[in-house]
Amino acid sequence: MRKSKRTNQNQISILTLDDDPIITSTIKDYFVRSGYAVDTDNDPEAAIERIRDGSYDILLLDFLMSPICGDQVVEEIRKFNKDIFIVLLTGHKSMAPPVKTIRQLDIQGYYEKSDRFDQLELLVESCVKSIKQLRTIKEYQRELANAYMQTIETLRNVVESRDKDTEGHSSRVSALASAIAEEMGLPKEEVDRIRVAGLFHDIGKVGVRDAVLLKKGPLTDDEYAEIKEHPVEGEKILSPYTEFEKLLPTLRSHHERFDGRGYPDGLSGEEICLGARIMSVADSFDAMVSNRAYRRGLGFDVAMAEIERCRDAQFDGSVVDALKSMIEKMGEGNFIKVFCSHALNDGGEN
């Protein structure tokens, strides 16, 4: 039986904390024989830092310690770790903290010290069952998330493969938008978020009919209305995945205009999130320099002149200025090679 227990439980790590080294050593010996990985500490403040820096599943700690008691230790730990399972050890049942405190600090139980550890082992085994159940749930959630991400990536590829004229558009918009965000001094986390949003900004077009998406002539009012639904549809597609939550405003609003004449919500100015204002400039620039079935790429100079003309109307002027600053720093030739090489390769006017 012991051999089987070691096999099943050797992934569980325990930290035991007591200001009496004899107690921690005794507890360690007992649970090591039961197949657990056990560390000990006799300094409450040092133990808090070990938990902050390490990875423990269960904490067994004495209630009455110096310089701080067990409930204070738990209070500090719960500020940064909500997952670790905690069992308080007390010299006598009457010394245990009130039930209200145990609930507030999310303590899984308490154990009255004795020469026998069978009751403590039962408490630990109960914790282990819960930990393994949570691990199973998290692994299942990860698998679902991975499957969902694969589906989303497939949808993105479907959108671009349907229309050869826009193949690679999302990747280019992602690169340009994130470069503008860096030029504006945004934090790395926000730059990365804009980079990902660029990859998926047109995913809502998966629901647009081929007759509309691939039409070579002018769109009717009804057809244009269908195209205008793609930001909302993209938001719907990505909203079930919590990792995309902070991207959704950028996805929904990348066709809003600074003057309030855009879609889908008619937002204006700083009502539009900064990510969407950046995406709007990057998206429009790439669309203008790229070849389309109904026209040739407009060329770098024409595209930049149009973006400048539309500053403070379609585009946020501060984003336009960041784009121009980036071009000046890179040099126009290098900028064209990096962000317009597809148009050059396709015989565009850049």
Indicate the pLDDT class of residue 180, thresholds 50, 70 and 90: very high
Instruction: For residue 59, list its beta bridge partners.
Output: 15, 86
Indicate the pLDDT class of residue 262, thresholds 50, 70 and 90: very high
205 is catalytic: yes
d(CA 23, CA 45): 18
pLDDT in tens, 91-136: 766 666 667 767 777 788 778 888 788 889 999 999 999 898 888 8
CATH assignment, 2-136: 3.40.50.2300
Segments making up each domain of the chain, as ranges: 2-136, 163-345
User: Across residues 231-242, what is the average pLDDT?
Assistant: 89
pLDDT at 198 over 70: yes
Q: Cis before residue 21, ω within 30 degrees of 0?
A: no
**Which listed residue (28, 79, 188, 205) is catalytic?**
205
Indicate the pLDDT class of residue 294, thresholds 50, 70 and 90: low
In the chain, the amino acid numbered 15 is L
Q: Which residue has the higher pLDDT, 91 or 40?
A: 40
Pull the structure tokens for residue 7: 């096999």
| Residue whose pair of structure tokens reads 């990510």 in the numeric block | 275
Query: How close are the terminal C-alpha atoms of the chain, in Å?
Result: 75
Predicted pLDDT at 137: 79
pLDDT at 3 over 50: no
Q: Which residue has the higher pLDDT, 189 or 1?
A: 189
Predicted pLDDT at 9: 46
Tell me the CATH class for 163-345: mainly alpha
Question: What's the residue count for the chain?
Answer: 350
Determine which of 97-101, 139-143, 286-290, 314-318 has the lowest per-residue pLDDT on average. Answer: 97-101
SS3 300: helix
